[in-house]
Amino acid sequence: MDEGAETEDRRVEAWFEHRDPETGAPERFVERRRGDRRRSAKRLVEAPPSSDPDPTVSLVIPTKNEARNVPEVLDHIPDLVTEVVIVDTRSSDVTKLMARTTRPGVRIIDEPRRGKGMALRAGLAAATGDVIVAMDADGSMSPEEIPRFVHPLRHGFDFTKGSRFMAGGGSLDITPIRHFGNWALVVIVNTLFKVHYTDLCYGFFALRRVFLESLDLKATGFEIETEITLQAQLKGLRIAEVPSIELPRRTGTSALHAGSDGVRIARTIMRQYRLSHEPEPAAVSNQ
Ligand SMILES: Nc1nc2c(ncn2[C@@H]2O[C@H](COP(=O)(O)OP(=O)(O)O)[C@@H](O)[C@H]2O)c(=O)[nH]1
Ligand SMILES: [Mg+2]
């Protein structure tokens, strides 16, 4: 085969149409990489893209001393959320009481071990919905945006991450030092993993629960958000970014320390990068 034909062949081969196995209807185009094959191409759990118009949705909210903020968040949860799971780490205020009063059906889990990562992992494991959405309790994320995160999961995607830095997003909460740190970490991730994210350290995301078990999550602190994104990437989940507006925390102060947590996030990136170079395990069918 001459060189021109080979190039043409590669171009034709670069995309293929994914069809519904039952109806044969075209669903979406999927990129096929040859040569520099995407390391994340293989999913540990093979599940077809979901087109369920009405999935059950669990909302997981980690709380630590958010009594003044949590009622406002719980008051604005849209109807599509079918379950709310609060994971509380030894709040010394009345966070749990306020949560129960505002939303009597709320599930409250006590996670004695400190750290947002610990709390989120416990909440993800306890959630029962087809889709799990995670968000903070401090009023910096608007529950009204939740449908925006669920939408892509009903249309071919497996993981939705919020972005404050794509068109339509924004942040009124982020400090200059955090902004710079987040930008630097995004550049590192995009370079190492050959992706095009616009945000990284943001705790508003949604996941199809069928993939939860395949994500190897070990983070205990604020590096959990990065770990989930990179694990989703590594396990070949179909990832969408949606714009999100981060508001100022309503009351109280953030528990994040830009320096030490930045180092933890950088370590998490390096660990995931090393994992991405290990041989891929065999796929397991879950259909
Ligand atoms: N359960 C639990 N939640 C936590 C812990 N640390 C932070 N959070 C929650 O995680 C969310 C984000 O925390 P925040 O301090 O606002 O961090 P920031 O938004 O990154 O500045 C809030 O809902 C906190 O209440 C923790 O140790 N345990
Ligand atoms: Mg916050």
> In terms of pLDDT, which residue wins out, 46 or 41?
46
- Residue range 145-172: average pLDDT? 97
What type of residue sits at position 11?
R
Ligand 1 atom with the shortest distance to the CA of 222: 20
Sign of the four-CA dihedral 107, 110, 116, 121: negative
Q: Where are the domains of the chain?
A: 10-46, 57-276
Quick count: other Cβ atoms within 10 Å of Cβ 182?
A: 21
Question: From the CB of 87, is ligand 1 less than 6 Å away?
Answer: yes
With cut-offs at 50, 70 and 90, classify the pLDDT of residue 48.
confident
What is the rounded (10 degree) CA torsion for 256, 262, 268, 272? 130
pTM: 0.86
User: Which residue bears the tokens 């799971």?
Assistant: 85
Give the strand pairing for 205-208 and 131-134: antiparallel
Pocket test of ligand 1: the residue of 60, 61, 64 to mutate, having most ligand atoms within 8 Å of its CB, is: 64
Q: Which residue is closest in CA terms to ligand 1's atom 17?
A: 254
Cα dist. 283→47, 65, 235 in Å?
11, 42, 10
Tell me if 158 sits within 8 A of 237, measured CB to CB. Answer: yes
Cα–Cα separations (whole angstroms), residue 100 to 74, 114, 142: 10, 22, 20
Tell me the per-residue pLDDT of 118-131, one tens digit each, with 9 for 90 and over: 999 999 999 999 99
Tokens of 167: 């068109």
Answer yes or no: is the C-beta of 250 below 6 A from any ligand 1 atom: no
With beta carbons less than 8 A apart as the criterion, state whether 182 and 174 touch: yes
CATH topology of domain 57-276: Spore Coat Polysaccharide Biosynthesis Protein SpsA; Chain A (3.90.550)
For 2-6, 118-122, 261-265, which range has the lowest pLDDT when averaged over its residues?
2-6
Q: pLDDT tens-digit profile of 198-233?
A: 999 999 999 999 999 999 999 999 999 999 999 999
Q: How far is the CA of 258 from the centre of ligand 1 (A)?
A: 14
Eight-state DSSP code of residue 31: E
